[in-house]
Chain A
Amino acid sequence: MSPALVQVRDLKMHFPIYTGLLRRRTGAVKAVDGVSFDIRAGETLGLVGESGCGKSTVGRALLRLYEPTAGSVVIGGEDIATLSPAALRAKRPMMQMVFQDPQASLNPRMTVQAIISEPLDEQSDWDRDRKQTRVLELMDQVGLNRRFANRYPHEFSGGQRQRIGIARALALSPKFIVCDEPIAALDVSIQAQVVNLLEDLQDNLGLTYLFISHDLSMVRHIADRVAVMYLGRIAELSPRDALYARPLHPYAEALLSAVPEPDPSREGARQRIILQGDVPSPANPPKGCNFCTRCPKVFDRCRVEKPDLVEVEPGRLVACHLYPAITHPSPDQPGGTQATKPTQQGEVQ
């Protein structure tokens, strides 16, 4: 089993809320509220959950595009969360991001060549020829015709624009890429093109991905393990096949049961768990388990005590009072090295 390239421990990202004339700080949006996980070298960790649960914030805090409120993010042996600006700059090339909206993330006034070359301009002292060669190589790699190097983003389709974004992310030969909803803005018929490309690049370049998505079918296809988030915390983190075959956390179970499947005979017979109500505000999360206001299996303890994310079956981490931690340690599982120790700090309130 490969060692962890990324180790996240008790990561918190709280955005302050200011109100009133004096803009006094009156509270905080707890967008990410104590999240721990590992990503092994060469693996794809899927991160799923509903809108606003904190997926993008995790991705951004990992690359320190936000200053985390608390916690550590160790990537390749160094804690990103506390690096000095100079050290962070030196580290940047190895970690990159691919964004959801290819249209919005590309400067409309720059040519494709200039866009892909931008990270090289900033981070390398290469001469023009060398950069040009690298840009063309990257265009080949992502399946963009070299002849389009001098065109502008608006002259491309959505799928092609996403290829430009991927080429730019690859320019500095990163090891770790956060893909934040890379296919959400694309038409169904184009999504597979981009996902196949991401998989080929992973195979050829040995990349490690955090793949953020709300498309649970696509995550099943691309991810090795999957973390299910709810309201700023991880509800369950399990190997892909185990999760889809038998989700343990009641939220993971409800989420998977809600996904419609393109099979009329199956759909007719399907038992759906319909969750009542809406997701609470991350500025004011419920006491105890953050899912207790909507959980079909809620009981008294859930309303007072926050469940820790613990290993409940070999390799499966769940934060729910219905699942006690297994006691034997299994050192080769991520998070398993501390299987008996909570990886999300629990608080009795």
Chain B
Amino acid sequence: MPDGAVPVLDVRGLKTVFRTRGGEVHAVNSVSFHLQPGELLGVVGESGSGKSVTMMSLIGLLPSPPAEVRAGEVLLDGRDLLKIGADELRDVRGAKIGFVFQDPMTSLNPVFTVGSQIMEPLTRHMGLTKAQARDRAAELLALVGIPDAKKRLKDYPHQFSGGMRQRVMIAIALACDPEVLIADEPTTALDVTIQAQIIELVKDLRQKLGMAIVWITHDLGVIAGIADRVMVMYGGQVVEQGPVRQLFSDPRHPYTRALLKTIPSLHGERAARLQAIEGQPPILNAAPVACPFRARCAHAHDRCQTENPQRRAVDGLAVGQGHDVACHWSPGGAA
């Protein structure tokens, strides 16, 4: 990453808690990360580790109650999104940050045409006339690879296949030329051959449009192919973060290491038995006072039971700038 480059998005110490009848759920615990212009940050982690809640917290998409963002700063071009009003935030969502969710069927409105859904942000946030918006919408549909784009504006979501609906979602997210695109498991519901189409599309759009992207997935293979940097979450925390090649070739956190070992490979040597990660993910009913991975960790020792490890650099660069890990243990070294 270029030294001194100003991040487009800078998140510091974000904490989000859900207040439920069964007590508090500490879903996001002091998460910090940043995004450089044009960069693709991959976010991986177990189900329930806080990936979605982190991103929804950034842009005020969580209903409150039960959600409560307790601490942190979310700086977009230097402005703290946690401090601005609801109207201003809606404009940011429409114009500066685009969103693509996992299930394209639930995020497209079935009763409006695809065209009107792409045109809506254009007329609302970009001040285009209807005719201008229609032209731009057709352009966007063509950009995401939908043939006969102009004609298809009049179609409803159910007339598109799953892969095409996801392309429509991407078109909507890109409508206002955002600086940041947040994609939450955008290909998880799709078949691998359709996923490959969408990934090629995003790679291509990145080159053309140069926006920064946060891509959430549980698929380490997808991350390996598209990310510049990777952030690994576990139990509501960032447990490891680093440039993609370093993270895959020299993973430092016991969870990342176990995760990489547990998935069978498509080409390498075939293990007689899979390496399982025994146990279950943690219950997040209190602020963490110990390492969230300790119960499943092969390297846990006394300190892990009493002290939540802080992120520390593993390559001499400042935390967040290079490769860092939140763990009391070091591979090959003393604790």
A and B bind? yes
Q: Could you list which residues of chain A lie within 8 angstroms of chain B, going by C-beta atoms?
A: 50-51, 157, 159, 187-193, 195-196, 199, 214, 216-218, 220-221, 244, 254-268, 270, 272, 274-275, 278
Chain B residues near A190: list those with CB within 8 A.
Answer: 277, 280
Q: B129 contacts the other chain (Cβ, under 8 Å)?
A: no
* A311→B191 CA distance, assembly (Å): 28
A-binding segment of B21-29, B80-88, B102-110, B217-225: B217-225
Q: B275 contacts the other chain (Cβ, under 8 Å)?
A: yes
Contact with A along B172-213 (1 / 0, CB 8 A): 000000000000000000011111110110000000000000
How many residues of chain B have a CB within 8 Å of chain A? 45
The answer to whether B192 and A278 touch across the interface, beta carbons within 8 angstroms, is no
* A278→B280 CA distance, assembly (Å): 38
* A193→B262 CA distance, assembly (Å): 9
The answer to whether B192 and A263 touch across the interface, beta carbons within 8 angstroms, is no
B163, B194, B275 — most chain A CB neighbours (10 Å): B194
* A159→B296 CA distance, assembly (Å): 15
- Which single member of B222, B245, B270 contacts A260 (CB below 8 Å)? B222
The answer to whether A275 and B224 touch across the interface, beta carbons within 8 angstroms, is no
* A278→B191 CA distance, assembly (Å): 10
Chain A residues near B267: list those with CB within 8 A.
Answer: 244, 261, 266
Q: B258 contacts the other chain (Cβ, under 8 Å)?
A: yes
A220-B266, A244-B266, A267-B224 given as contacts; is B196 within 8 A of A189 (CB)?
Answer: no
Q: B244 contacts the other chain (Cβ, under 8 Å)?
A: yes
A221-B271, A260-B225, A272-B196 given as contacts; is B266 within 8 A of A216 (CB)?
Answer: yes
The answer to whether B223 and A262 touch across the interface, beta carbons within 8 angstroms, is yes
Q: How far is the CB of B251 from chain A (nearest CB, A)?
A: 11
* A131→B31 CA distance, assembly (Å): 51
A264-B244, A267-B224 given as contacts; is B195 within 8 A of A258 (CB)?
Answer: yes
Q: A188-B46, A221-B274, A272-B200 are in contact. List 17 more A-B contacts (CB 8 A).
A: A157-B280, A187-B218, A191-B262, A192-B276, A216-B192, A220-B270, A221-B264, A244-B266, A258-B192, A259-B192, A262-B221, A262-B263, A263-B248, A264-B244, A266-B267, A270-B225, A275-B196
The answer to whether B262 and A189 touch across the interface, beta carbons within 8 angstroms, is yes
Q: B151 contacts the other chain (Cβ, under 8 Å)?
A: no
* A307→B244 CA distance, assembly (Å): 44
Q: How far is the CB of B188 from chain A (nearest CB, A)?
A: 11
Chain B residues near A259: list those with CB within 8 A.
Answer: 192, 221, 266
Chain B residues near A257: list those with CB within 8 A.
Answer: 196
| B54-100 with Cβ < 8 A to chain A | none
Q: How far is the CB of A186 from chain B (nearest CB, A)?
A: 9
A196-B274, A272-B200 given as contacts; is B224 within 8 A of A261 (CB)?
Answer: yes
The answer to whether A189 and B46 touch across the interface, beta carbons within 8 angstroms, is yes
The answer to whether B224 and A188 touch across the interface, beta carbons within 8 angstroms, is no
Number of A-B contacts (CB under 8 A): 121
List of 10 A-B pairs having minimum Cβ-Cβ separation, nearest first: A260-B221, A262-B220, A221-B264, A192-B276, A267-B225, A192-B274, A258-B196, A50-B191, A189-B277, A258-B192
The answer to whether A261 and B221 touch across the interface, beta carbons within 8 angstroms, is yes
* A278→B47 CA distance, assembly (Å): 29
Chain A residues near B259: list those with CB within 8 A.
Answer: 188-189
Q: How far is the CB of A341 from chain B (nearest CB, A)?
A: 32
A196-B273, A275-B193, A278-B161 given as contacts; is B224 within 8 A of A264 (CB)?
Answer: yes
Chain A residues near B224: list those with CB within 8 A.
Answer: 260-264, 266-267
Q: B306 contacts the other chain (Cβ, under 8 Å)?
A: no
Q: How far is the CB of B220 from chain A (nearest CB, A)?
A: 4
Chain A residues near B245: list those with CB within 8 A.
Answer: 264-265
Q: B148 contacts the other chain (Cβ, under 8 Å)?
A: no
The residue in chain B whose Cβ has the minimal distance to the Cβ of A216 is B266
Q: B313 contacts the other chain (Cβ, under 8 Å)?
A: no
Q: B159 contacts the other chain (Cβ, under 8 Å)?
A: no
* A218→B195 CA distance, assembly (Å): 18
Chain A residues near B46: list those with CB within 8 A.
Answer: 187-189
> Could you list 24 A-B pairs, sorted by A, with CB under 8 Å?
A50-B191, A50-B192, A189-B46, A189-B277, A190-B280, A192-B275, A195-B274, A214-B191, A217-B263, A217-B266, A220-B265, A220-B270, A221-B274, A244-B267, A254-B193, A258-B193, A260-B192, A260-B219, A260-B221, A260-B222, A262-B248, A263-B248, A266-B224, A267-B224
The answer to whether B191 and A188 touch across the interface, beta carbons within 8 angstroms, is no
* A57→B2 CA distance, assembly (Å): 53
* A196→B278 CA distance, assembly (Å): 11
| B137-190 with Cβ < 8 A to chain A | 161-164
Q: How far is the CB of B58 from chain A (nearest CB, A)?
A: 24
Chain B residues near A267: list those with CB within 8 A.
Answer: 221, 224-225
The answer to whether A217 and B265 touch across the interface, beta carbons within 8 angstroms, is yes
Q: How far is the CB of B161 from chain A (nearest CB, A)?
A: 5
The residue in chain B whose Cβ has the minimal distance to the Cβ of A257 is B196
The answer to whether B193 and A217 touch across the interface, beta carbons within 8 angstroms, is no
* A189→B273 CA distance, assembly (Å): 15
* A265→B267 CA distance, assembly (Å): 14
Q: How far is the CB of B174 from chain A (nearest CB, A)?
A: 20
The residue in chain B whose Cβ has the minimal distance to the Cβ of A265 is B245
Q: How far is the CB of B227 from chain A (nearest CB, A)?
A: 8
Chain B residues near A270: list those with CB within 8 A.
Answer: 225
* A189→B276 CA distance, assembly (Å): 7
| B237-275 with Cβ < 8 A to chain A | 244-245, 248, 258-260, 262-267, 270-271, 273-275
